Chains A and B, each alone.
Chain A
């Protein structure tokens, strides 16, 4: 039996608890989404996964645009884009479920779409309506024409990896990038490292402080056009796994960013990072779950079909190993679904469904595109209003808890991915034939999930603070500044 022909499990069977929370209609929609992602994975990704992995090993600069182009037919680039900008407007749950499917096929290819979503995330959680008719519309228009336009997010620096993902460490960290305020905008300087999609993205959400001596207080997010003067790809890394998705080092040499491409308010960068992580760590748990599932499905299919595996499936040790894998995958999936649900219903996601945001969505695109409207949506007042809306839709405690649940799903899922892929490899052994290379690739791919989006150790410290102690992290939401916007939001409170 080929792994591609594993029985299709409905979401209600895989996660029975979801049926209590969601309507039949929503469950059917989610099932369709999963089927589409699985179809893309089976048709375009699985057959080429090993080949792409080998090509990139020989040449880290190789990038398979064909497979990304094929993804446009499945709406994968518009998946996290708000509906108002022509996208599908999905948040953590849909993105997570899609990522699990894609990762069961190839985590490297999946991560191209994941990193793209990460680039969009700051626009969604900090940007309000201001980028709907800018880059977000550009993405969805291009996708409809079958032209992939990729995004990326640039946070990590050569001397600051963990530092830039934790408020306390960031205050003491060695941040060397700098966004200098100039007339009409900012000038960005410094180096960003390990940026997924960094060398293939058209636009990048970049985080830099306006005062490097106070990085936590002045970190800000900017939308950078990679065609700007002063932007350069310094190198593409030679990775152990997830090779289909490149990681690049990026140099910013006085890159000009106009004022309107500041994402959110100046100084909201740390909150943007925290909210982005609350949104994205759950999907990383899904990525890890998909990797584990990919290994489990391949192993089971091989044990059932390959002559060389004859007899292994009769061994209780092997049966127990398979059962353990199934258990681990089931629990990892539960964890990321909890994280996604918390983000959408009790966390930051609520702000995006706030009546004030919905009202903005009722304005026809043709009007939103008018220069005076675009000027207003990127004005300081509009930014203040969106920050206030975020604060009023959720609380620091809820947002902290959402971040902690996402971190839990990420850390747990990543450990499961490394364990399950390793177990699959051990059951099969070196003499297993073609499936061995696939399992080895998944094992190499799995290790990255313990590292990116914050190391598992950092994520567990988030779990400790947010769940064990029940502490609140004030930096997880934009700070309140403007009394008028606060009063406005109080009146608009649902």
Chain B
């Protein structure tokens, strides 16, 4: 399923169209999406489908938009500026379809939403909770997955490891022995509604996903984090220009300036290269980008709340949501300390 990356002008156009869609359709819905409102999600997802983002990475011959994985980062960033949860749903949907064999992907209906479910390898929590077996010659899953982001309400899931190696398992929505419950108290990325999944001898289809799937998820989370960070900076800097304390805009106060300046430096540092996200096999590069972008996004979002002071802590301003979403980016698909640990292993000779 090889596709050629977009040229610069095509990529620019894609970003503009996505940004316009996000501004018109997603930004006004961000608060309701944060409530986990299913109807609002469906409306937004319909927009995502119209735009072709829901199956952006599928080749045109399979009914997709035929984008290269490296071209998805920029539109994801624009969607995340409006809502990180919707952006994650786009990412996980595309990752799931990309993990399916072409013949399976071809029969997924346009109206269906799939989700990749990443199970962290050790030493992260939950790694031992899932067991692969066989029953009557068919692979089965037993055990549980906690907080599978984006899985609730999905028409199918693809369970895969986070190390970029090994198999993946396709689970149909109505598979026997598979029970999904909404995860209670999901703090961030709430539009990507999470499920706690129990498997009891659940028959699954074993597949070998394309190698770029796990790398795509890491680059995608980095792009989402960057979108969140940009939005946090926009809100904080706008507020700092207009809010007066001591008779002057707070952007004139050194304490506030230093926070905003630090945000600018982080955003400049983490800019996605003009050629888009690097390619398929660069798992280490993707891990490093994810760690860096999500750490930066969290720092930026925390400081953005601080710039707004009491107003920032209240839901109305929309910036505390970014702080919660940024924290989830840092913890997904594995906490950053685990990601750093894996990065070291990849870097060793």
**Which residues of A are interface residues toward B (Cβ below 8 A)?**
50, 54, 156, 159-163, 166, 168-169, 172-174, 193-194, 237-241, 247, 308-312, 315, 317, 321, 418, 422, 425-433, 436-437, 440-441, 443-444, 447-448, 450-452, 455-458, 460-461
Asked whether A311 lies within 8 Å of B309 as measured between CB atoms, the reply is no
Total interface residues on B, using CB and 8 Å?
Answer: 48
Asked whether A315 lies within 8 Å of B123 as measured between CB atoms, the reply is yes
Asked whether B327 lies within 8 Å of A447 as measured between CB atoms, the reply is no
- Chain B residues, CB < 8 A from A50: 185
Query: When A427-B337, A451-B309, A452-B310 are in contact, do A437 and B246 touch as well, CB less than 8 Å?
Result: no
Asked whether A311 lies within 8 Å of B323 as measured between CB atoms, the reply is no
The contact sample of 14 A-B pairs, CB cut-off 8 A, is A160-B245, A162-B245, A163-B245, A174-B247, A240-B324, A311-B123, A425-B331, A426-B335, A431-B124, A431-B145, A440-B327, A443-B327, A450-B306, A451-B306
0/1 per residue, B314-331, Cβ < 8 Å to A? 111000100110011011
Asked whether B332 lies within 8 Å of A430 as measured between CB atoms, the reply is yes
- Chain B residues, CB < 8 A from A162: 245-246, 309
- Chain B residues, CB < 8 A from A309: 125
Residue B312 interfacial (CB < 8 Å): yes
- Chain A residues, CB < 8 A from B253: 457
- Chain B residues, CB < 8 A from A431: 120, 124-126, 129, 145-147
Determine which of B123, B244, B316, B330 lies in contact with A426 in the assembled complex, contact meaning CB atoms within 8 Å.
B330
Determine which of A159, A321, A448 lies in contact with B313 in the assembled complex, contact meaning CB atoms within 8 Å.
A448
Determine which of A54, A169, A429, A448 lies in contact with B334 in the assembled complex, contact meaning CB atoms within 8 Å.
A429
0/1 per residue, B205-249, Cβ < 8 Å to A? 000000000000000000000000000000000000000111110
The residue in chain B whose Cβ has the minimal distance to the Cβ of A160 is B245
Q: How far apart are the CA atoms of A239 and B317 in the complex, in Å? A: 11
Asked whether A239 lies within 8 Å of B313 as measured between CB atoms, the reply is yes
Asked whether A430 lies within 8 Å of B310 as measured between CB atoms, the reply is no
The residue in chain B whose Cβ has the minimal distance to the Cβ of A315 is B123
Asked whether A312 lies within 8 Å of B125 as measured between CB atoms, the reply is yes
Query: When A429-B334, A451-B312, A461-B255 are in contact, do A310 and B305 touch as well, CB less than 8 Å?
Result: no
- Chain B residues, CB < 8 A from A239: 313-315
Asked whether B247 lies within 8 Å of A156 as measured between CB atoms, the reply is no
Say how far A480's CB is from chain B's closest CB, in angstroms.
27
Q: How far apart are the CA atoms of A54 and B309 in the complex, in Å? A: 23
Q: How far apart are the CA atoms of A458 and B306 in the complex, in Å? A: 12
Asked whether B306 lies within 8 Å of A456 as measured between CB atoms, the reply is yes
Give the 6 A-B residue pairs with the shortest CB-CB distance, closest first.
A431-B126, A172-B247, A457-B255, A437-B185, A169-B246, A238-B315
Asked whether B341 lies within 8 Å of A426 as measured between CB atoms, the reply is no
Q: How far apart are the CA atoms of A271 and B247 in the complex, in Å? A: 21
Q: How far apart are the CA atoms of A310 and B337 in the complex, in Å? A: 17
Asked whether A429 lies within 8 Å of B185 as measured between CB atoms, the reply is no
Determine which of A159, A428, A456 lies in contact with B125 in the assembled complex, contact meaning CB atoms within 8 Å.
A428
